[in-house]
Each structure stands twice: as C-alpha cells, then as structure tokens.
Amino acid sequence: MATFVLVHGAWHGGWCWSRVRSALQAKGHQFFTPTLTGIADRSHQLSNDINLTTHARDVANLMVWEELTDVVLCGHSYGGAVISAAAAMAPERVSHLVYLDAFVPENGESLIGLLGKALAPDVAAMFIGGFRGAALAGRSGLMQPIPAEVFNVAQANRAWVDRRCVPQALATFETPALLSGGIDTVSSRLYILADGWDPSPFRHFAAKFEAAPGWRITKLPCSHDVMVDMPQELARELLTLA
C-alpha cells in the first residue's frame, strides 16, 4: 500500500482531488488531500498574512502528525512550490515528488519570480499585474481566482470549478521558497505536463528537467486542472510510483 499526499493549487482546495481519490481508494492505497490554510473549507481562516511558508507547514505537519513515511507527495500548479518547501521541512518522510503542471522553485525563488522566467514578458506582466492589482483593491492583499476557462478546463467542469475557487493571499505568491539541502535527498521526481492549454508557464519546467538526473517527464493531453478533467489517467500515472 502506498501513501499519497495530494496538494491543490492556488484558489482551489482538497475538493479538487475527489475524482482522483476514488481511483486511488479503489486500489487500496492511503491518501490525504489537505486544504491549505485560508482556502475552500478553511476560508474562514483567510488572512493577507498567510504565505508560502504557512502552506508548506500545513503539509509538513500533516506528514509529521499522521506519522507518514515513504510519501508520494504531489503538488498541482502553485502546489509545486508548497510541496518543495514541505519536503525541505521533512525530507525523511518523502519518497517521491510529483509536480503536476506545477512550479518548481529553487531556493529563494518566489512564484511571482518564476512567472517572469517561464512566460513571455508581456504575458507575465499581465498575470502579475492582475494579481497585484486585485490585492491592492480595497487594500485586501488578496488575489482573485483565475476563471477555469483561462486554463481550458472542460466546458462541463468549468462552473463546478469556478464556484468552488476562492481568493488567496498575494503573499503566498511573493514569499521566497526556503529549501534546505534536505530536499536533495528526495531523488525520485516526476513532472506531469498538461499539454492541452496555453500560454502555459509549465512548459518551461518540463523542458528544464527533461534531461535532469532523477526526473521523469510525462504529458497528458489536458487542461491545467488535470485532476478534474482526466482523473483516471492521472491516477494511473501516480500509481506507477506505488
């Protein structure tokens, strides 16, 4: 039996993995789909003070308090930064890192900074300006969700996704990832590229790690929300690590 910890991306919540959970449960595996502080069913905790370290600690503490070992730790989109920082906090508990159409920071890099590297300058400026502009409005410090249509989520699933996504603190995108050398002990890494939408910053990371030691790259013909649009196919990819 394998143990999976599946970490959602920005504005989403543990709910987005419901279809993947069913597939893993059917195979008898243990899984956790935490919702990060201030989002979805934890939106009552929302504060503009929440940052990337808060969310990384959510995941690291889950692994510690549930006494999990040999974890397949998967992060979607923004969740890639979360799992990197969480693995740095508790590397002895993680056997595989899975980046699902996700950001992969180096030590000291923020998600905002990675957008600037991974997208054309004008496209990056549009996204970053939108995030910061929303956070300045009313001095809320919060970013508004990007509509599912932008990520080419299947038409039948867009309303379901949009009505569940909630604002998130801009600080989560601007906090540098603090990655100790411990994360380097996690030698098995899988990058799953969602190959069915653009402009995607995640092609940058798939290309960057294509020939890197310890990495395997695979693609799915899907929107950014792979766990929503292709849950069975994603489950099969995850189960290759079981």
Please report which confidence band the pLDDT of residue 169 belongs to, taking 50, 70 and 90 as the band edges: very high
Give the tens place of pLDDT for each residue, 171-207. 999 999 999 888 999 989 999 999 999 999 999 999 9
The whole-angstrom separation of Cα 79 and Cα 36 is: 10
Q: How many distinct structural domains can be found in the chain?
A: 1
Question: In this structure, which amino acid lies at residue 195?
Answer: D
- Residue 139 has what pLDDT? 81
Q: What is the 3-state secondary structure (H, E, C) of the chain?
A: CCEEEEECCCCCCHHHHHHHHHHHHHCCCEEECCCCCCCHHHHHHCCCCCCHHHHHHHHHHHHHHCCCCCEEEEEECCHHHHHHHHHHHCHHHEEEEEEECCCCCCCCCCHHHHHHHHCCHHHHHHHHHHHHHHHHHHHCCEECCCCHHHHCCCHHHHHHHHCCCCCEECHHHHCCCCCCHHHHHCCEEEEEEECCCCCCCHHHHHHHCCCCCCEEEEEECCCCCHHHHCHHHHHHHHHCCC
pTM (predicted TM-score):
0.97
Domain coverage including residue 145: 3-239
Active-site residue set: 77
Give the tens place of pLDDT for each residue, 14-27. 999 999 998 898 88
Pick from 179, 226, 8, 214: which is nearest to 97 by CA? 214
Please report which confidence band the pLDDT of residue 1 belongs to, taking 50, 70 and 90 as the band edges: confident
User: What is the dihedral sign for C-alpha 111, 80, 135, 116?
Assistant: positive
Q: What is the CATH number of the domain that holds 177?
A: 3.40.50.1820
Range 153-167 average pLDDT: 98
The whole-angstrom separation of Cα 144 and Cα 136 is: 11
Give the tens place of pLDDT for each residue, 230-239. 999 999 999 9
